A and B are shown apart, each in its own frame.
Chain A
Amino acid sequence: MAKTFVEKILSRERSVSAGEILEIKPDFAMSHDNTAAIAKTFRQIGIKKIDKPDRHIVILDHCVPAANEKFAQNHKEIREFIKEQKIDHFYDIDRGICHQVICEEGFALPGKIIVGSDSHTTTYGAFGAFATGIGRSEMAAIFATGKIWFRVPETIKITIKGKIPAAISAKDIILKIIGDLKADGALYKSVWFAGPVVEEMSIAGRMVLTNMAVEMGAKNGHIEPDAKTAAYLKNRARVHYKPQYSDPDARIEENYEFEISDLEPQIACPHTVDNVKPASRVKGTKIDQIFFGSCTNARLEDFKIVADVLRNKKIHNHLRMVVIPASNQIYLQALQAGYIKDLIEAGAVLVNPGCGPCMGNHQGVLAPGEVTLSTSNRNFKGRFGCKESEIFLSSPLTAAVSALTGQIEDCRDFIKSSGGKHV
C-alpha cells in the first residue's frame, strides 16, 4: 500500500497507516532547561539508570547564563544529572538555542525519529526527519523505557509556487500560510512543505517553515531532503541516515497551494500568531523594542539581511534593539563577516546566544504598555514576560527597516528608496 512520509518512517517495526496508534523508540530525544524537572519525574518512576544515554541530548538555552538563584539551581541540578547518568551529548550555556544546536551538531537527519520536550522540535523536519514536541512526563518515560506512543497523523501538503519577491523571505511566507490556515489549520497533522519555492530556499529558510509549522497545530513539519540537505549534513551527520520519501500515490488528506509572486511582507499582530496582516496595514505602529533573535530567525543569512540595512546607520533613538544569535557558531561567523560590528555601531545590544526574552525570562522582557517587534515565532499575551505588553512578529528585513524609524514599516518602501540593493 502506498504510504506517506510519516507512515513510512513510523512503520519501522510493523506497517502502520494514518490513524493507528503505535509505540516507538525515537532515535534522538532532546531536552533543555526543563531537564531538571524531567529528571525529578524520572526518579519518581523508581529506576536508577536511564535507557540509552546516547539517545539523549541536553542543551541549556532557555535562561543562560542563569538570571537568578532559582535558574542557577535549576542548571546545577541538570549538570549533576548529566554526570550521574553519563549523558555525553550535553551542551552547557555556551552553545546556543537547542533547535539550532541539534541541527548544527548533525542530529537532525533524514529518516530519523526525533522528539524534544519543546514544541518547536518540529524544526528538524527541514532535514527530512520526523520530529515533534512531547511533554516532560513523556520525556521522563523515554528516559525510563526508551519508548513513546504516537498516533500516526494524516498528511497535509502545502505547495509553494511562484517567484520570491525581493522583500520576501521564508518568514513572510509561513506567516501568510498560518494567517490563512489559522492556528488550528493543521491540528494533529503532518505538514509537508513542497514546491519550487521550497526547493529554492536555503536550509535556514526551510527551518523557518518547519519551526513554525507547530503554530498551526501541526504534529510535525516536513521537507524532502535534496542536494542542499546533503551538502549541509556532509561532515556533520552523527550517524548514517537513509532519507524517506512519500509514495507518489500516498493519501494526502488536504492539498493547499500558495502562489507567492505578489506576496507583501507579513506581520503577525497581537496576541495570536494567526492574526496576520500585510505590513502595509500596520505600518506606522510605534515600537519600543526590536528583538532580533530566536530559533526562528537568528541565523547567519538573517544577520546579513539586518546588517546590510543597518550598516552606517543608526537605529531610531526611542528604540532598543536586542540581538541574540541563535548559536555561538553563528555569532562567530557574524563577527567574522563584520555584521556584529555593523549592528553595534547602529545602536543594537548584543546578547549571548540563547532564548533571551522569548519566554519572558530575562534579557529584554517588556514593561506594561510596551510594544515589541520580534523575529521570533510566538506573540501570545505575556510571552515576553508581561501580559500588558504587545508583540508583533515579522521577518528580519522588516525588523531591520523598522529599527531605523521606530515604527513598523513596509520594507518594500525602503528597498525602493535604496535601489533594491539591500536584498
Chain B
Amino acid sequence: MIKKLSNLARISLSPEEESDLKKDIEKVLDYVNSLKEANISSKQQDYFQSELSNIFRQDVVVEFDDKDAIIKSFNDKEERFLKVKAIL
C-alpha cells in the first residue's frame, strides 16, 4: 500500500521509511475508522451543500512587479527559462 501511495505522491522512500510509515498509518487509520459510526441524515447533507457559494472577481490581468526574484529562485535555468530534466 505504501509503495502505491508514495508513487502517487511522487515521494521517494527508503525501505526503512516505508516500513515505519506502514506502522504509523495503519495505527492512525485504525483510530479514524471510528468515523464510520457517525450518522449523517440525507437532509443534513443537502443543507451542507447549499451553504457554500463561490466568490468571484474581475478577470483582469495584472503584471507581477518582480519577475527577477522568481527567476532567481529557479534551481536550474537558461536565460529567463526554467530548465528541467528530460521529460520523455
A and B together in one complex: no
Residues of B within 8 A of A (CB): none
